[in-house]
Chains A and B, each alone.
Chain A
């Protein structure tokens, strides 16, 4: 399977994306997935449109992207974390 590029973005680009980034890193290890994580500000997503396979974000996004967008708020609140992980896994294993 080709290496997937995963964008991890938050609004301020300061912090919440780091928490999410860590969670995905852990997941990737656990499931033996080879992913290329890019931690960015949501405003920077545009420049990754051609290369990214998935966007995981805590910020809202109005735009349509050619890849799936997954809300990662659960990594901050602990509510629904397992569902979010499943969603990410499904997207990555496609």
Chain B
């Protein structure tokens, strides 16, 4: 099983976009450029977001966790997009409400079940307003990488089947 790919190259700061499609396209293109995902990924993730929205209201900064099927992924990674301005995403489980999202965690997973512990740990991050605010205000990618490595146990993911 491959290790999860996470470093500064999948962290995008100050993303400028007006629509969620634009956000997903920019983040997806960055992953595609690094051959972490297949060229079918962007279309698939935009389509999935339309059908099953992934915006999550949190205590501090609203987030979205766009993801799609494993077949579009070459190597698993979590890409983070910190948006310059909020962009409306649909709220998970709701077909009418939208929410102004400012941090996007794009999940590119290459095995269905490897997402479980990752998501559980991510949920903890979402429930911690201080961490989200720190991510939002941080201007340095390396600091964000270190913070995330501290919060998510990437090592534990590798052994998971």
A21 → chain B closest CB, angstroms: 9
The segment out of A27-35, A45-53, A72-80 that lies at the interface is A72-80
Determine whether B112 belongs to the interface, using a CB cutoff of 8 Å to chain A.
yes
Q: Which of A12, A18, A77 contacts B56 (CB 8 A)?
A: A77
Contact with B along A66-84 (1 / 0, CB 8 A): 0000011101111100000
Q: Which of B68, B93, B94, B127 contacts A78 (CB 8 A)?
A: B127
Contact assessment for A76 and B94 in the assembled complex, using a CB-CB cutoff below 8 Å: no
Majority SS of interface residues in chain B? mixed
Chain A residues lying within 8 Å of B48, measured Cβ to Cβ, are: 11-12
Would you list which residues of chain B between 41 and 78 have a CB under 8 Å from chain A? 48, 51-53, 56-59, 67-70
Chain A residues lying within 8 Å of B118, measured Cβ to Cβ, are: 15
Contact assessment for B119 and A15 in the assembled complex, using a CB-CB cutoff below 8 Å: yes
Chain B residues lying within 8 Å of A73, measured Cβ to Cβ, are: 56, 91-93
Contact with B along A1-31 (1 / 0, CB 8 A): 0000000001110111011001000000000
Chain B residues lying within 8 Å of A22, measured Cβ to Cβ, are: 120
Q: Which of B115, B120, B126, B127 contacts A14 (CB 8 A)?
A: B115
Determine whether B116 belongs to the interface, using a CB cutoff of 8 Å to chain A.
yes
Number of interface residues of A (CB under 8 A): 23
Q: Which of A19, A57, A60, A62 contacts B123 (CB 8 A)?
A: A19
Contact assessment for B93 and A71 in the assembled complex, using a CB-CB cutoff below 8 Å: yes
Contact assessment for B123 and A12 in the assembled complex, using a CB-CB cutoff below 8 Å: no
Contact assessment for A59 and B67 in the assembled complex, using a CB-CB cutoff below 8 Å: no
Contact assessment for B67 and A62 in the assembled complex, using a CB-CB cutoff below 8 Å: no
A80 → chain B closest CB, angstroms: 10
Contact with A along B113-143 (1 / 0, CB 8 A): 1011011100100110000000000000000
Q: Which of B67, B69, B95, B116 contacts A19 (CB 8 A)?
A: B116
**Docked pose: A42 CA to B92 CA in angstroms:** 13
Binding site for A on B (CB under 8 A): 48, 51-53, 56-59, 67-70, 91-95, 107, 109, 112-113, 115-116, 118-120, 123, 126-127
